[in-house]
Amino acid sequence: GNSVTQMEGPVTLSEEAFLTINCTYTATGYPSLFWYVQYPGEGLQLLLKATKADDKGSNKGFEATYRKETTSFHLEKGSVQVSDSAVYFCALYNQGGKLIFGQGTELSVKP
Amino acid sequence: GAVVSQHPSRVICKSGTSVKIECRSLDFQATTMFWYRQFPKKSLMLMATSNEGSKATYEQGVEKDKFLINHASLTLSTLTVTSAHPEDSSFYICSARDQTLSYEQYFGPGTRLTVT
C-alpha cells in the first residue's frame, strides 16, 4: 500500500544553517506529493507541492524536488530562521483521494 | 488562500457527555471534508471522510457510533464525540477539499478536546 517515511526528529539547528528533511514514499503510480507545516498549537498549512516527476515545489525559501527514480521528496532550505521552528509533514495523495502523511519531523531552530 | 475554520478551538468536557466540533469552509464549497485525529508528537490519523449529503466513510478501527459525522451543507461538517471518555482527549483537525481542484485540501486550525 501507499506509505510515507520521514527522517526522525527532532532536528535542532542554529539560525542560518542548512536544512534537509528526508522523505521517501511507496505508492502505486505517480502520486502528487506535498509538504505541510504545523506551527505549535495550530493546524496544518500547505508549504509546497509537486504533481509530477522532476517538478520542484518551492515556497518561503523551502524547496523539494519530486524524484521518481529514488521515490523521494526531500525538503531543503538554505538558511533557516527561528520562525521556521515547527513540525513538518511529508504527504502523498493516493488514488483513493486521501492524503497519506509521514510521521512528522520536528524542527527546532536556535538563535 | 482558502480558509477553513473550526469551532471551538478548545473544549473541556466531563466524561460521559457529548461534544460537537464544527468545521466550516469560509470562502469555497467543499463537497468533501476529512476528519483527523492527532496524538501528541504523532502524525495525523484519518478518521473519516465526510461527503455532503451522504453518510461518512469511516476508516478501519474508528467507531462510527462514537464519532458521529454530519455534512449537511457544502460549507459545514460536524464531528460529535458521543459519551466522551478521557482516552478521547486529543487534537482533532478537519480539512476541506475544494471541489474545483481534485487534490487540494485546506486544513482547519484544530480543536483541542480534553475529557476529564
CA distance B67 to B101: 28
Backbone angles phi, psi at B41, to 5 degrees: 60, 30
CA distance B26 to B1: 11
Beta strands A62-65; A105-110: pairing state: unpaired
Q: Does residue B43 carry a pLDDT above 70?
A: yes
Residue whose grid cell is 527522517: A7
Nearest CA in chain B to A51: B103
Nearest CA in chain B to A45: B107
Q: Does residue B2 carry a pLDDT above 80?
A: no
**CB-based contacts of B31: which residues, under 8 Å, 6+ apart?**
B51, B52, B74, B97, B99
Averaged pLDDT of chain B: 91
Task: Write out pLDDT tens, residues A15-71.
Answer: 999 999 999 999 988 899 999 999 988 888 999 999 999 999 999 999 999 999 999
Task: Write out pLDDT tens, residues B50-79.
Answer: 988 888 999 999 999 999 999 988 899 999
Cell numbers at A78, concatenated: 538554505
The confidence score (pLDDT) of residue B105 equals 85
Size of interface A-B (CB pairs under 8 A): 47
| A85 within 8 A of A69, measured Cβ to Cβ | no
CB contact under 8 Å between A89 and B44, yes or no, is yes
The confidence score (pLDDT) of residue B102 equals 60
> What distance, in Å, lies between the first and last C-alpha atoms of chain B?
37
Confirm or reject contact between B103 and chain A (CB < 8 A). Answer: yes
The confidence score (pLDDT) of residue B65 equals 95
The confidence score (pLDDT) of residue A10 equals 93
Instruction: Point out which residues pair with A62 in neighbouring strands.
Output: A59, A77
The confidence score (pLDDT) of residue A57 equals 97
